[in-house]
Amino acid sequence: MEALFSAGTAGVAMTLPSRAQDVLAPPAQAAIFLVVTVRPGSEDDVLELLSDVAGITRAVGFRAPEDELSCVVGVGAELWDRLYDAPRPAGLHPFRPVVGAEHTAVSTPGDLLLHLRSRRLDLCFELASQLMRRLTGHADVVDEVHGFRYFDERDMLGFVDGTENPRGADATAAVFVGDEDPAFAGGSYVIVQKYLHDLDAWDALTVEEQERVIGRHKLSDIEIPDALKASDSHVALNTITDDDGTQRQIVRDNMPFGTVGAAEFGTYFIGYAADPQVIEQMLQNMFVGAPSGNHDRILDFSTATTGNLFFVPTADFLDDPSGVIPDAAASSGAAEPATSADDSLGIGSLRKNGP
């Protein structure tokens, strides 16, 4: 069964699409999530940074290659329109809030996502510092979360977080765009949300009550049988199937985070998918209910404070979008991007003239 708060692809061995970003990197010991907004007039500076992210990541990670530093970059819908004179990827749009009778999945500002992972937090921190130094005066951090592995892959609620991610070829199929949007094949979509937990209320429950909320046994991590599982449990409401019974899958890389002094404890949800509608349906089930009114019981203890949707282009696209964007325009029937005075089609001609 699927669950929104579930992450990890330990032991995965697969062939990734050519020059895809490190979406399917192994589970990390540490992560930094940066969501930033880009100031008007800074589009060219951001494009230059995007083409340099891979090189900066290699330079920082070269100090300790065994610690597997990586950085995934996602671009939001509104920034996409500012950067490129071409259609968006088919599934890219601003994150849509999901309003239920009792709980809401909020939509918050965000133009870029930087998802940094490693076995060491200092490497993530150094890379984050180098990237943001390049964005000084051009972008503002609107959310920053430092995540960490918590014991045996557990979340702050005490349950194992990393059981049901697809693996191998199934993981590749779940996260990477294919022939359905050929101009952006090898890319992915990512939705992020920061959830804050009311641990006092949660810890007041018995273990059996907590297991009913999640749909799994706490100690063993074994899923409760369908016949006994509560219809409003987290696992039940996050199982998405097609009409033929095929289960729709995503890959999550959630991380716990917290600040003891502020008594702030939470889970940073990050889900990658070839089609963002899979995650959006999960959120609909959670917040509105399936059926309506049967909302996810975990939301009585966990509040979503952020919400963003980004497209994760291939590494080739970040290096040079000119090789992809004309194909995107042609496949959609859109007008050809404007050429320069010498009829060339360099990257500059793909950029918006102003914000």
Tell me the CA distances in angstroms from 263 to 111, 143, 156, 258, 349, one per residue in order: 29, 18, 12, 8, 50
Cβ atoms 186, 177 nearer than 8 A: yes
Determine the Cα–Cα distance for residues 190 and 131; give it in Å rounded to an integer: 20
Give 132's DSSP letter: H
Q: Out of 22, 143, 155, 161, which one is annotated catalytic?
A: 161
Q: 214: exposed, middle or buried (C-beta count within 10 Å: 0-12, 13-18, 19+)?
A: buried
Furthest C-alpha separation in the chain:
72
Determine the Cα–Cα distance for residues 112 and 288; give it in Å rounded to an integer: 28
Tokens of 92: 């890219």
- Is position 198 annotated as part of the catalytic site? no
Tokens of 18: 């050519």
Query: Which residue type occupies 190?
Result: V
Q: Which residues pair with 247 in a beta bridge?
A: 241
Q: What is the DSSP string of 134-183?
A: HTTTTEEEEEEEEEE--TTTB-TTSSB--SS---HHHHHHHHS--TTSGG
Tokens of 161: 């977080």
Determine the Cα–Cα distance for residues 58 and 312; give it in Å rounded to an integer: 19
The count of residues in the chain is 355
Active site residues: 161
